[in-house]
Amino acid sequence: MTAISDHPTSSDASPGGISRRSFLKWSAVAGGGVALVSGTRQLGLLPGAGLSASAQEEASGVETIWSSCNVNCGSRCPLRMQVADGRVVRVLPDNTGDDALGSQQVRACVRGLSYRQRLYSPDRIKTPMRRVGERGSGDWEEISWEEAYDEIADSMKRIIEEYGNEALYLNYGTGTLGGTITSSWPPISTPFSRLFSLAGGYLNHYADYSTAQIQGAVQYHYGGWIGSNSLDDAKNANLVVMFGNNPFETRMSGGGEIYVSQQTREQAKVKTIIIDPRYSDTAMGLGDEWVALRPGTDSALVAGMAHVMITEDLVDQEFLDRCCQGYDDEHLPDGVPAGSSYKAYILGDGPDGEAKTPEWAAPITGVPAGTITRLAREIATTKPVLINQGWGPQRHVNGENQARAIFTLCALTGNVGIPGGGTGEREGSYGLPLANPFVIDNPVEASIPVFAWTDAVEKGPEMTATNAGVRGVDRLEVPIKFILNYASNALVNQHGDINRTIELLKDDSKCEMIVNVENRMTVSARYADIVLPDTTNAEQMDLASQGSAGNMGYAILASQVIEPLYDCRTVYEMCTELAKRLDIEEEFTEGRTQEEWIRHILDASREDIPDLPSFEDFKEMGIWREPNPPEVGYVPLQDFREDPEEHPLPTPSGRIEIFSSELWEMAETWELPEGQRITALPEHLSMQESAEVARSDDTYPLQCIAHHVKQRTHSTYGHIPWLEEAHPHVAWIHPWDAEERGIANDEKMYVFNDRGRIRVSARVTNRIAPGTVSVPHGAWYEPDEQGVDVGGSPNTLTSWLQSPIHKGNAQHTMLVQVERA
Amino acid sequence: MATQLGFYFDQTRCNGCKACQVACKDKHDLPVGVTWRRVAEHGGGSWQSDGDTFSPSVFATYMSTACNHCERPVCAEVCPTTAMHQRDDGVVAVDDDLCVGCRYCEWACPYSAPQYNAELGSMTKCDLCTDYREEGLEPACVAGCPSRALDWGPIDELRERYGDVDAIEPLPDPAITEPRLVITPHRDAQMTGSGTGTIKNPLEV
Amino acid sequence: MFTDLSMVVFTVFAQMSVGAFIVLGAVQVYARVQGGRSAEDVDRVTDPALYAVGVTLALGLIASIFHLGTPMNAINVLRHVDSSWLSREIAFGLAFAGLGFVFAATQYFKWGSAALRQALAALTALVGVGLVVSMSMIYASLDAVPAWSTWVTPAQFAITTLLLGSLAVGAAFMGTVMWRRRQAADEEAEEPTTDAGDLETISTSLKGIAVASIVLLGAAFVVIPLHLNELSQGGAAAVASAEVFSGAMFALRLALVFLGAGLLGFFVYRFAARMESNPQPLAVVATVAFGLVFVGEFIGRSLFYESMTRIGM
Ligand SMILES: Nc1nc2c(c(=O)[nH]1)N[C@H]1C(S)=C(S)[C@@H](COP(=O)(O)OP(=O)(O)OC[C@H]3O[C@@H](n4cnc5c(=O)[nH]c(N)nc54)[C@H](O)[C@@H]3O)O[C@H]1N2
Ligand SMILES: Nc1nc2c(c(=O)[nH]1)N[C@H]1C(S)=C(S)[C@@H](COP(=O)(O)OP(=O)(O)OC[C@H]3O[C@@H](n4cnc5c(=O)[nH]c(N)nc54)[C@H](O)[C@@H]3O)O[C@H]1N2
Ligand code: SF4
Ligand code: SF4
Ligand code: SF4
Ligand code: SF4
Ligand code: SF4
Ligand SMILES: [Mo]
């Protein structure tokens, strides 16, 4: 996720009149953060345990040291690691703070508590290795660090020489987030970015696997990221509606959004409706009503509701007139023909001539027309309504329009910019504006959509601004020739269509060098030329910025807990050694050690956060909190709503663009793949492998999504015995679909399409809509002799399909068939 | 009789994350297969379809349980060696030196609380983190629950504060062991014996 | 299947021992009261079987050790006799074994008076009954296991005890007859190998055993449907348990017991009459019958353990 600086709206212009400071502090996108963190070795004290406990610790030779869990789960937790004889013997949750929102204890989730098994996993990579034989053959030779550094530096030099810096690529990878030195994403804030930039730069990417489509949507709709009202602001609402938002599984920290939403619900008892193909844990724990729909059809559902609201005169006409562009024909930009407005689209007065009645939406979404009508009335007549979406609805081929349709619902009901309302984006949260002086600019301008790197390896120079969303340049000069894959399994396992990706990578005349910096022998590491064993965060110090935690800001000073295991080294050391060979060591280190950088970052951050403790105090404390006043939730666009003239949005019209002028133009100028469309309005689009296609496809009649699950954070924390036991990998299937195929709960089944076949245990459950299966993402691809992926990775089934606008990963869009195994 | 200890579980807050389970495993170094605290998913309900549309009417809940340090600990009653015993504070624990590993207590307990450790050849189970409590710390599962869904304490106090519900599916009839357990039930909780739902994750409990 | 092999071996062998001991007692009483034979004469018939009982029980007890995770602590299992049926089972088991051993020794060395030995035998049998009762209470007292906590458990254990006990005794008698004949043939002896009175006793016993097994078979076929019916009326755990009693193994088990007990009942009358001249057919039938029922009961006991589904979670 996302550091705010990486998002289109995080540039200097603060959207919606939010002041720079408050904009920085309110990170609209949870989970990442411009983080800065480093750690130092810290002698732990066990606050709350009292003297006797520390005394006892000393006597027993057990020390407690603050560390953190730095994976990409949208939360961020301190971990108190107990060490004896240089080994971590226990991992304890935070024991500071309290239960009140704003100062809540940040208790680690089930994964963080099993950290010990990840740290000491048998798949830890122990020494640098070079591939022998074909890429992916699995044959390796151990090499020395010197050899590894020399070979990588030589390869970089040669490729820069031969193809230019644009041929170098830092792949998306979010295995270690939140830290400053050990941050693996966004590329700009990684140590490799600093190194490569000093060496002339590298091909950049924009957006991320999490939010590509919604980023594309906000850019044209609101002009950039603004977030929706924070979850604690639900206390000001009279109804909460969440589309595919699942904090109970995707924000699991005991200081994170699950806790914020639970506590808020207990206090305010506001009715909550969850719209999701699955009866998610959030639907169970937070929801009062569950609306089950087919994946990728939220835009149709919203259209059906809009029809009710418009025909029954329930829309907030004043807000639409004053703050939005293109709701009705009277508010279209000049030069756009009548019938191009949203109202015309809904009422059937537009080019398609079809009224988007609830009866029209029902068969598309699966939601009965009566339910759509009832929902529409309830949402339109209750004030205010907090509306937000997770990122499930947008991780589809029609994801931009999905996201925009939900934003539009907020405009229709006039809920934007008010307490208890929402923008339809994902919840915002408070965040500390930590500085990051370690980051420098990348001299290369060219940037590709995050998911398009396989295209860039295959046919780089064919990719242009209008056929592939290339930015910074009109066309790529060269294909990607060198990939540095740091803390990433997106080289193979997390990318689409694993089998196809492997075919591409096997051809080492295409991408000539792949370096993988990892802790564990992952699926992606199998396809590298050189593998470098990184230390985990328990083996080094870093400063970790917070995760999404409602209105609480915090940071963690994570100390080094144990000496590096095996022959592992820190990335800072790796980069320093490579810099030495590229003659940029001085520039890279600026004469600082890792700890000195962390001190420097803390000092620099103190400008914006004056209360930040000293390095020494921070080490003792482990976690430091700065609560926002708890009454204040995050309410974006209040200024804009009050006075859109004075506080315009950074859209061409300065208004919320239900009709986007830029998209209107792109619809004309962009070259799209067969079957795809860009629309100025948030129309419901049925494109490749959509719900509509599924209903007429006899070969692959089931829609398949890949929800994020409790066992893993993506593939990280996969293959951890305690976690596999607690949360086995099971694919959800509706009893009707299972029965038809003779599959019983906990039996094995095949899920397959033309791209691949997986074998996975069935969770036959009425918690999922009929016609939809969900194979939780992050499972490790493991082909057997027949090529069946018995590890059950959903990306064996996904494709390289990209959404039309932001070229986002459509990883929840795929059609499959299921049979008994 | 000294104060009798028990557990409290707020089912309305539980998302089935199993942090409690793993906190316990980490604290007590438990191998896979030996799980002192387990979480069941219980659910049921049905769907209606009409043409191309469908509507659910389903329910699901999670239930986290360890040992309930019962008023009537059948595990200890049946144990031939007296290894399984109840202490003055109500905590039921296994004395390793006595246990013969016959697994009779395991058959007797309808909460699956006694968990056999084949490596040790003896029965093991939740002892309410005796050592932590002696140090003034919370039991690992209680301190580890991200949602603060668990609590422990003198059962009288827990009952006073939270009521006395303990007959929630998939738990057995409390008359069998008289568990020292108090539950705040989820809105979808089904009364024990209602037969309306089933355990959805049988291999995990 | 056979998940808890050591428990299956232990319970089946121990029950068979108790049953056999009781049946031997019955033969004694019957032969002496009805047949008017001397204690010495009857002992000649029953003693070999008695020693076999000892061996069987010892095997069962050894098997039970394998069930324990920490056999080193085995001595502790007697600590909770006041509360635990398992402690009681072991206590009765050891008492039965001990008394049986003493009794066998007195028989072998002809220590003490016949009356004293009889009293000892009666006491041993009583302890044996105690063993079977406590064994069944181990299971029948578990409220958490619906398949077990029913009157059916003691009923089935009793049936197994007597059925296997009788058939084992029958097989042992015929085995002894055949063994003696073989020995005599080897030694080319002149004398009849088994005395006519003994053969008479054996033939009568076998008829009795045949009748008993048919009655017990009938009882088993009454108890089983009642059990299944009871389970089907129970909660989810009970219903799940009942599934164990529906597969091929269950059918095989019924078939074996039916064949075994039925076979003996049917043929024993025909062959018993001709036994004096040619004991072989009866020996074969008695042994096969025992074998079939033994295997059937063994499977049945495995299914019994497999049916352990607890209520709750
Ligand atoms: N089908 C499907 N695919 C998806 C998604 C989906 O919903 N469906 N979701 C997508 C999304 S949202 C995302 S964000 C991506 C995530 O994809 P990735 O960013 O690739 O995330 P992970 O799979 O967790 O891989 C991170 C890697 O970092 C490694 N790692 C962890 N800690 C360290 C460290 O300290 N040092 C080093 N060097 N390595 C470390 C881990 O071992 C792991 O291999 O997946 C995407 N893929
Ligand atoms: N435990 C855990 N937590 C995580 C992660 C993890 O891997 N594990 N990953 C982290 C990362 S990087 C990210 S990006 C976030 C991901 O957060 P999200 O993208 O929000 O998570 P998903 O599970 O992909 O989708 C959320 C919900 O959307 C539903 N959904 C799917 N398609 C549709 C649709 O078309 N319409 C509607 N209404 N709902 C739909 C899914 O069933 C699911 O319940 O989670 C973060 N948190
Ligand atoms: S995975 Fe996320 S929620 Fe869990 S411990 Fe790590 S940072 Fe916290
Ligand atoms: S840790 Fe808490 S919320 Fe999670 S499963 Fe256990 S009791 Fe439920
Ligand atoms: S829950 Fe089970 S093990 Fe614990 S005291 Fe009650 S009967 Fe004994
Ligand atoms: S396994 Fe141990 S604790 Fe359990 S009944 Fe047997 S001896 Fe007692
Ligand atoms: S109290 Fe301690 S031993 Fe018992 S379940 Fe909780 S963590 Fe485990
Ligand atoms: Mo993500």
Q: What is the 3-state secondary structure (H, E, C) of A50-78?
A: HHHHHHHHHHHCCEEEEEEECCCCECCEE
Q: Which atom of ligand 5 approaches the CA of B105 most closely?
A: 3
Q: Which atom of ligand 1 approaches the CA of A520 most closely?
A: 42
Q: What is the pLDDT of residue C200?
A: 84
Q: Mind listing the pLDDT tens digit for each residue in A674-712?
A: 999 999 999 999 999 999 999 999 999 999 999 999 999
The CA distance from C46 to A574, in Å, is 87
Band of pLDDT at residue A123, cut at 50, 70 and 90: very high
Max CA distance (Å), chain C:
70
CB contact under 8 A, C73 and B97: yes
Strand partners, B168: B191
Checking if the pLDDT of A33 tops 90, the result is no
Lowest-confidence range among A495-504, C253-262, C292-301? Answer: C253-262
Whole-number average pLDDT of chain C: 89
Lowest-confidence range among A44-48, A297-301, A418-422, B190-194? Answer: A44-48
Count of CB atoms within 10 A of residue A324's CB? 25
Q: Is the peptide bond before A652 cis (omega within 30 degrees of 0)?
A: no
Residue A398 and residue A322 share a domain: yes
Whole-number Cα distances in Å, C234 to A187, A677, B175, B198, C220: 62, 59, 17, 15, 21
Backbone angles phi, psi at A556, to 5 degrees: -125, 125
Around C75, how many Cα atoms within 13 Å sit in the side-chain half-sphere? 2
The CA distance from A531 to A517, in Å, is 6
Whole-number Cα distances in Å, C256 to A597, C170, C174, C253, C298: 80, 17, 21, 5, 10
SS3 category, B106: helix
Count structural domains, chain B.
1
Residue A721 and residue A625 share a domain: no
Residue A597 and residue A583 share a domain: no
Band of pLDDT at residue A56, cut at 50, 70 and 90: low
Helix, strand, coil abundance in chain A, percent, nearest 5: 35, 20, 50
Distant-in-sequence, close-in-space partners of A527: CB < 8 Å, separation ≥ 6: A135, A136, A491, A492, A502, A505, A506, A514, A516
Find where tokens 């689209």 sit.
A345
Residue A21 in domain: no
Q: Mind listing the pLDDT tens digit for each residue in A394-408?
A: 999 999 999 999 999
A396 lines ligand 1 (CB under 6 A): no
SS3 category, B96: coil
Contact C265, C214 (CB under 8 A): yes
Residue B36 in domain: yes
Count structural domains, chain A.
4
Q: Which atom of ligand 5 approaches the CA of B86 most closely?
A: 5
Q: What is the pLDDT of residue B1?
A: 59
Q: Which of A82, A766, A768, A772 to mutate to test the interface with B (most CBs of B within 10 A)?
A: A766
Mean pLDDT of C180-206: 78
Mean pLDDT of A349-377: 98
The CA distance from C164 to C60, in Å, is 14
C–B contact (≥3 CB pairs within 8 Å)? yes
Strand pairing report for A26-27 and A429-430: antiparallel
Residue A598 and residue A583 share a domain: no
Measured in angstroms, the CA of B190 and the nearest CA of chain C are apart by 13
CB contact under 8 A, C69 and B118: yes
The CA distance from B114 to B135, in Å, is 25
Chain C residue numbers with beta carbons less than 8 Å from the beta carbon of B118 are 69
Instruction: Count Cβ–Cβ pairs < 8 Å, chain B vs chain C.
Output: 117
Q: Whole-model pTM?
A: 0.94
Checking if the pLDDT of A740 tops 90, the result is yes
- How far does the centroid of ligand 5 lie from the alpha carbon of residue A93, in Å? 28
The CA distance from A516 to A130, in Å, is 10
Whole-number average pLDDT of chain A: 92
CB contact under 8 A, B107 and C310: yes
| Dihedral sign for Cα atoms in the order C195, C197, C202, C207 | positive
Q: Which atom of ligand 7 approaches the CA of B140 most closely?
A: 7
Checking if the pLDDT of C22 tops 90, the result is yes
Q: What is the pLDDT of residue C183?
A: 82
The CA distance from C14 to C20, in Å, is 10
Give the domain extent around A513.
31-36+127-203+443-534+570-589
**Percentage of residues of chain A with pLDDT beyond 90:** 91
Q: What is the pLDDT of residue A50?
A: 35
The CA distance from B108 to B77, in Å, is 9
Checking if the pLDDT of A656 tops 70, the result is yes
CB contact under 8 A, B21 and A726: yes
CB contact under 8 A, B78 and C77: no
SS3 category, A217: helix
Q: Mind listing the pLDDT tens digit for each residue in A201-228?
A: 999 999 999 999 999 999 999 999 999 9
Q: What is the pLDDT of residue C191?
A: 61
| Residue in B72, B140, B141 with CA at minimum distance from that of residue B110 | B72
Q: What is the pLDDT of residue C150?
A: 95
Residue A307 in domain: yes
Report the residue from B79, B109, B116 with minimal CB separation from C84.
Answer: B79
Q: What CATH code is assigned to C2-306?
A: 1.20.1630
Where helices occur in A515-614 by DSSP H, the ranges are 571-581, 585-589, 594-605
Complete DSSP assignment for A141-174: EE--HHHHHHHHHHHHHHHHHHH-GGGEEE----
CA angle A223, A226, A232 (to 5 degrees): 160
Q: What is the pLDDT of residue C38?
A: 84
Checking if the pLDDT of C3 tops 60, the result is no
Q: What is the pLDDT of residue C110?
A: 86
The CA distance from C93 to C127, in Å, is 8
Find where tokens 């299972």 sit.
A738
Residue located nearest, by CA, to atom 4 of ligand 4: B17
- How far does the centroid of ligand 1 lie from the alpha carbon of residue A72, in Å? 7
| Dihedral sign for Cα atoms in the order A516, A518, A521, A523 | negative
Instruction: Please compute Rg for chain C using Cα positions.
Output: 20
Q: Mind listing the pLDDT tens digit for each residue in A761-816?
A: 999 999 999 999 999 999 999 999 999 999 999 999 999 999 999 999 999 999 99
The CA distance from A710 to A728, in Å, is 10
* CATH code, domain with A377: 3.40.228.10
Instruction: Please compute Rg for chain A using Cα positions.
Output: 25
Give the domain extent around B180.
5-70+127-199
Residue B162 in domain: yes
Q: Which of B13, B17, B21 to mutate to test the interface with A (most CBs of A within 10 A)?
A: B17
Residue A655 and residue A551 share a domain: no
Q: Is residue A84 less than 8 Å (CB to CB) from chain B? A: no
Three-state SS letters, chain C: CCCCHHHHHHHHHHHHHHHHHHHHHHHHHHHHHCCCCCHHHHHHHHHHHHHHHHHHHHHHHHHHHHHCCCHHHHHHHHCCCCCCHHHHHHHHHHHHHHHHHHHHHHHHHCCCCHHHHHHHHHHHHHHHHHHHHHHHHHHHCCCCCCCCCCCHHHHHHHHHHHHHHHHHHHHHHHHHHHHHHHHHHHHCCCCCCCCHHHHHHHHHHHHHHHHHHHHHHHHHHHHHHHHHHHHHHCCHHHHHHHHHCCCHHHHHHHHHHHHHHHHHHHHHHHHHHCCCCCCHHHHHHHHHHHHHHHHHHHHHHHHHHHCCCCCCC
Residue located nearest, by CA, to atom 6 of ligand 5: B70
**Which residues form the pocket of ligand 5, taking CB atoms under 6 Å from any ligand atom?**
B 67-70, 73-75, 92, 109, 111, 113-114, 125, 177, 179
Residue A786 in domain: yes
Strand pairing report for A129-131 and A87-92: unpaired
Contact A502, A796 (CB under 8 A): no
Searching chain B, which residue's CA lies closest to the CA of residue A256? B146
Residue B159 in domain: yes
Q: Which of B21, B75, B78 to mutate to test the interface with C (most CBs of C within 10 A)?
A: B78
Max CA distance (Å), chain A:
81
First to last CA, chain A: 36
Strand partners, A517: A486, A532
SS3 category, B134: helix
Q: What is the pLDDT of residue C180?
A: 85
Residue B175 in domain: yes
Find where tokens 């009839």 sit.
B173
Interface of B with C in 35-54 (CB under 8 A): 38, 40
Which two structure tokens, joined as six digits, stand for A706?
């890949």
Band of pLDDT at residue A27, cut at 50, 70 and 90: very low
Residue A2 in domain: no
Checking if the pLDDT of A1 tops 60, the result is no
Find where tokens 């930590």 sit.
A434
Strand pairing report for A140-142 and A168-170: unpaired
Residue B116 in domain: no
Residue B169 in domain: yes
Residue A61 in domain: yes
Checking if the pLDDT of A525 tops 90, the result is yes
CA angle C195, C199, C203 (to 5 degrees): 175
Q: Mind listing the pLDDT tens digit for each residue in A279-338?
A: 999 999 999 999 999 999 999 999 999 999 999 999 999 999 999 999 999 999 999 999
Band of pLDDT at residue C272, cut at 50, 70 and 90: confident
Residue B186 in domain: yes
Residue A192 and residue A99 share a domain: no
Q: Which atom of ligand 5 approaches the CA of B65 most closely?
A: 1
The CA distance from B121 to A340, in Å, is 75
Contact A507, A514 (CB under 8 A): no
Higher pLDDT, A24 or A615: A615
Residue A453 and residue A367 share a domain: no
Residue B16 in domain: yes
**Chain C residues in contact with chain B using a Cβ-Cβ cutoff of 8 Å:** 67-71, 73-74, 76-80, 83-87, 90, 138, 141-145, 235-236, 308, 310-313
Mean pLDDT of A34-45: 28
The CA distance from A372 to A305, in Å, is 6
Band of pLDDT at residue A437, cut at 50, 70 and 90: very high
Q: Is residue B37 less than 8 Å (CB to CB) from chain A? A: no
| Residue in A330, A284, A356, A289 with CA at minimum distance from that of residue A685 | A356
Checking if the pLDDT of A2 tops 60, the result is no
Q: What is the pLDDT of residue C43?
A: 86
To the nearest 10°, report the CA torsion of B158, B163, B166, B168.
-130
As for the ipTM of the complex, it is 0.94
Q: What is the pLDDT of residue A104?
A: 95
| Residue in A814, A688, A715, A718 with CA at minimum distance from that of residue A757 | A814
* CATH code, domain with B66: 3.30.70.20
Residue A399 and residue A458 share a domain: no
